[in-house]
Amino acid sequence: EAQVTQNPRYLITVTGKKLTVTCSQNMNHEYMSWYRQDPGLGLRQIYYSMNVEVTDKGDVPEGYKVSRKEKRNFPLILESPSPNQTSLYFCASSTRTEETQYFGPGTRLLVL
Amino acid sequence: QQPVQSPQAVILREGEDAVINCSSSKALYSVHWYRQKHGEAPVFLMILLKGGEQKGHEKISASFNEKKQQSSLYLTASQLSYSGTYFCGTEVRNGANSKLTFGKGITLSVRP
């Protein structure tokens, strides 16, 4: 089944404790991206990647890191999480930017 | 820069029609439309490429006015299942680089 998976789905952590949210797709997509969703602010892009080893900042990259060592995986790293990073996070992938974006199920993060 | 969606919210009775708008200040290559149910990931509705085409999907259709950098989503004879948050995503290209940005979303509620 074609899908985008994210892990974990729910996470409660404390300020400053490094964490990684994984994203994996099985559709051989080149384009992958991370979004955060907050009430009233919609989907805001954190980082995106157009292919392996090619990543670029989105609109809200501060406090986040990403890597794209393999085509299928695009992990999101929070080196030192802060409470303002409490949010719902979505990973998405597609063949190209102008094609259908397939979203993962979301990761709900709470930083205390 | 996020595209601007209007109106902010829509409340309908079953069977009524609605129009949702999306506009950008930048020259667009494509416009995407997604619907998100509460607690779920956004789901693809349609994509319109530069060229001013209109697309349809059952009772939901959309248009893209390239000159005005505006897109509209038309929901005809709305059903209860149309309820959700509707996001438009606008793609801007700059050379080989391509960026997709989503709006804040519009909440649409269909009442019996």
**Selection from B43, B75, B73 nearest residue B58 by Cα:** B75
Facing B42 at nearest CB: one of A33, A59, A103: A103
Q: Are B103 and B2 in contact (CB under 8 A)?
A: yes
Q: For residues B44 and A99, is the Cβ–Cβ distance under 8 A?
A: no
B59 compared with A91, residue with greater pLDDT? A91
Which one of B42, B100, B104 has the shortest CB-CB distance to A97?
A: B100
pLDDT 10s digits, B3-36: 999 999 999 999 999 999 999 999 999 999 999 9
At residue B55, the 3 state secondary structure works out as: strand
DSSP B2: P
Asked whether residue B53 carries a pLDDT value surpassing 80, the answer given is no
For the cut 90, the answer to whether the pLDDT of residue B104 exceeds it is yes
Does residue B7 have a cis peptide bond before it, meaning omega lies within 30 degrees of 0? yes
Nearest Cα of chain A lies from the Cα of B41 at a distance, in angstroms, of 5
pLDDT on residue B99: 86
Residue A20: pLDDT band with limits 50, 70, 90: very high
pLDDT class for B106, splitting at 50, 70, 90? very high
Token duo for residue B86:
């509707």
Give the pLDDT score at B97: 80
Q: Is-contact B28 B69, C-beta < 8 A? A: yes
Quote the tokens at residue B75.
């929901």
Tokens representing B40?
Answer: 């779920």
- Please check whether residue B88 is in contact with residue B3, taking contact to mean a CB–CB distance below 8 angstroms: yes
Interface test with B, best of A34, A45, A98 (most B CBs within 10 A): A98
Is B32 in Cβ contact with A101 (below 8 Å)?
yes
Residue B57 has pLDDT above 70, yes or no: no
Q: Is-contact A96 A31, C-beta < 8 A?
A: yes
Mark out chain A residues that contact chain B at CB-CB < 8 A. Answer: 33, 35, 40-45, 48, 50, 56, 58-59, 90, 96-106
Is the predicted pLDDT of residue B59 greater than 90, yes or no? no
Q: What is the mean pLDDT of chain A?
A: 95
CA distance A13 to B7: 37
pLDDT of residue B51 exceeding 90, the answer is: no
- Contact between chains at B100 and A56 (C-beta distance less than 8 A): no
3 state SS of B81: helix
Q: Region A19-47: what's the mean pLDDT? A: 95
Q: What is the pLDDT of residue B52?
A: 61
Q: What is the 3-state secondary structure (H, E, C) of chain A?
A: CCCEEEECCEEEECCCCCEEEEEEECCCCCEEEEEEEECCCEEEEEEEEEECCEEEECCCCCCCEECCCCCCECCEEECCCCHHHCEEEEEEEECCCCCCCEECCCEEEEEC
Per residue in A56-99, pLDDT tens?
999 999 999 999 999 999 999 999 999 999 999 999 999 887 78
Which residue in this structure is represented by tokens 């384009």?
Answer: A31
